[in-house]
A and B are shown apart, each in its own frame.
Chain A
């Protein structure tokens, strides 16, 4: 039912669509891959690396569509290509039984920078003052809170794995995952039409959203 509501709302907003895909992927991963107790650690670590790559491309796509400045969009395309090459290289060269958090940290950092650029762009555009009523704003807030909150845990992810205290990492990650989902609920129930109405009929975002 939640997925159905999400899907219904996601049809109207690109940010929600991206999250919908991301959540579907997480569900698939959790139910069909990671729930398997006999899963080997190499496979688990490989899944993490693939998830990082998929999330990075998904969010890069989202920001490349919602940013209005052509310059920043071009910068995102360039960064996506460069970081994509780096992530692919890391994925290929890193041994399957080892986990290197640098690609995840780098991709989280870049996504945080995208969020800051997006918010800066919106804050300087005074023609759309009711921006915080939009779904996209809350989607970006969810991304910021999740990326900023899990950033340090991710930096020390290798230490967690080595010290075998994964539950601590899970606690931080899962708490922020819940917070992210709660913020997404706000995003789902924020209607862009309210913001557009308050802005006197002007679209609050660019034509792609």
Chain B
């Protein structure tokens, strides 16, 4: 009550001023606490979304691995298995009781089948790790892939590496190659494009690979949407490989609206060159 006294005529002003200042100070502190709580909630939501995305990517990666294993198992079981079984039939124990011509014919047939089996296993092995990529690098592997595509006559595929003097580490090359392969695969499957062109460039800050095509494509929004949905296994694989590369991928429609482009952008600090 002492503050309500008007002794000297200053109590009222001081009381109001003190209350006002205190109200302002407390209001500011409350605002900060509430703002911080809001930020925390927002960040937690972001974290949850990120975890969900990670889970999707992980699932996609596991599914992709399982599909790959099933494909290899099917190749081995359906193709290599019967071939080797047939070769075994030719070389069975009754062969020694046959005449010499039949023996030679059986051995020749068995040799043919074993050669076919070797070729089949080689193909499976090449599909796992392209030999051109391993021996000659990314540029040659992409060239090789595009020559095969162009050779089929379905569309015109070309590539140009402007600055690829130093090779990246094999793991990074394989990741980039798989991304290109998946993108090309998607273009072949869904876009009805008449050409695909890949360019590679390199500057002080980044290494980038750009893929153009004139078919039906997707934009970054579509890519992100598909990535968050249960569908789009191939795109999720691209995303997880891009993540491993610590790179950035951007899907966009060209300004001229005539073709789509996809840019894989790897910051130089994340690039690992062969020593």
Contact = CB atoms under 8 A, between A and B. Distances in A.
State the main secondary structure of chain B at its contact with A.
helix
A132 B2 CA distance: 35
Interface stretch (A10-18, A32-40, A147-155): A147-155
Interface residues of B, number: 26
Interface string A98-126: 00000000000000000010010011001
B18 A172 contact: yes
B8 A163 contact: yes
B18 A152 contact: yes
A144 B17 contact: no
Q: Which of B5, B24, B29, B40: most chain A CB closer than 10 A?
A: B29
Contact of A126 (B8, B18, B22, B39): B39
Nearest to B17: A152
A163 B21 contact: no
Contacts of A53: none
Interface in A151-166: 151-153, 155-156, 159-160, 163, 165
B25 interface: yes
B22 A141 contact: no
A24 B29 CA distance: 27
Contacts of A122: 32
Interface in B8-23: 8, 10-11, 13-14, 17-18, 20-22
A41 interface: no
A167 interface: yes
Contact of B33 (A116, A126, A132, A148): A132
B269 interface: no
Given A131-B36, A132-B36, A168 B5 contact: yes
A167 B2 contact: yes
Contacts of A132: 32-33, 36
B35 interface: yes
Contacts of A129: 36, 39-40, 43
A135 to B, nearest CB: 15
B3 interface: yes
Contacts of A172: 3, 14, 18
Contacts of A44: none
State the main secondary structure of chain A at its contact with B.
helix
B179 to A, nearest CB: 31
B8 A148 contact: no
Contacts of A141: 29
Contacts of B21: 148-149, 151-152
A152 B25 CA distance: 13
B28 interface: yes
Interface of A: 116, 119, 122-123, 126, 129-132, 141, 144-145, 148-153, 155-156, 159-160, 163, 165, 167-168, 171-172
Given A129-B39, A171-B3, 12 more contacts: A119-B32, A122-B32, A132-B32, A132-B36, A149-B22, A149-B25, A152-B18, A156-B10, A156-B13, A159-B8, A168-B11, A168-B14
Interface of B: 2-3, 5, 7-8, 10-11, 13-14, 17-18, 20-22, 24-26, 28-29, 32-33, 35-36, 39-40, 43
7 contacts: A144-B28, A145-B22, A149-B25, A160-B10, A163-B8, A167-B2, A168-B14
